[in-house]
């Protein structure tokens, strides 16, 4: 029969996951802080701004950027930091790993999710907090408000399950 216990010895990087491991996230943020000479808070704020403005989209490349005071982070630059720590890692996996932090920063800075305007077509009464949660990487976050999460899943299905 199968020796299930042996599966526990498989390294984490051998598994396909929807988010990056905490240690990997820490290394990415640390690399960003060292390279740019910024605090962890500013690093997370740059990541938050980038992903809230569509930086998790596949075609983002260098066209997606976010600037906070005098620091700018592009999607391509963030991909480079991620790939140094996890070859198959993505911005979306990073965003999912720190999704609640992204919401906290985005609420403080007033940065809505990249899908907020689309949700407004269906729900003109969305609150500022709901608008902040309107990002494609929040679909599996149990902390995401139910109305937003249901809308995000429906939106995804309508675009990709044709």
- pTM to 2 decimals? 0.85
**Dihedral Cα 37, 42, 46, 51, nearest 10 deg:** 140
Q: What is the DSSP string of 67-101?
A: EETTEEEEHHHHHHHHHHH-TT--HHHHHHHTHHH
Residue 124 within a domain: yes
Q: How far is CA 106 from CA 6, 10, 29, in A?
A: 42, 36, 17
Residue 4 within a domain: no
Q: Which two tokens stand for residue 62?
A: 């260098």
Size (the chain), residues: 162
Residue 28 within a domain: yes
Mean pLDDT, each 10-residue run in order, the chain (162 residues): 48 58 97 96 97 85 85 94 95 96 97 96 96 95 95 87 64
User: How many domains are contained in the chain?
Assistant: 1
Residue 8 within a domain: no
Q: Looking at residue 122, what is its pLDDT?
A: 95
Residue 9 within a domain: no
Q: Looking at residue 11, what is its pLDDT?
A: 44
Residue 10 within a domain: no
Domain span at residue 79?
16-160
Residue 105 within a domain: yes
Residue 74 within a domain: yes
């Amino acid at each position: 029969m199968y020796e299930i216990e042996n599966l526990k010895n498989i390294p984490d990087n051998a598994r396909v996951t929807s988010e990056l491991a905490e240690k990997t996230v820490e290394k990415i943020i640390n690399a960003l802080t060292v390279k740019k000479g910024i605090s962890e808070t500013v690093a997370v704020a740059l990541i938050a701004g980038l992903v809230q403005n569509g930086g998790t989209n596949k075609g983002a490349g260098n066209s997606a950027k976010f600037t906070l005071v005098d620091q700018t982070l592009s999607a391509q630059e963030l991909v480079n930091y991620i790939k140094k720590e996890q070859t198959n890692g993505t911005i979306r996996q990073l965003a999912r790993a720190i999704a609640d932090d992204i919401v906290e920063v985005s609420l403080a800075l007033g940065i809505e999710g990249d899908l907020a305007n689309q949700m407004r077509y269906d729900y003109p009464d969305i609150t500022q907090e709901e608008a902040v949660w309107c990002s494609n990487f929040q679909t599996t976050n149990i902390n995401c408000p139910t109305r937003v999460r249901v809308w995000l899943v429906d939106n995804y299905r309508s675009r990709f399950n044709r």
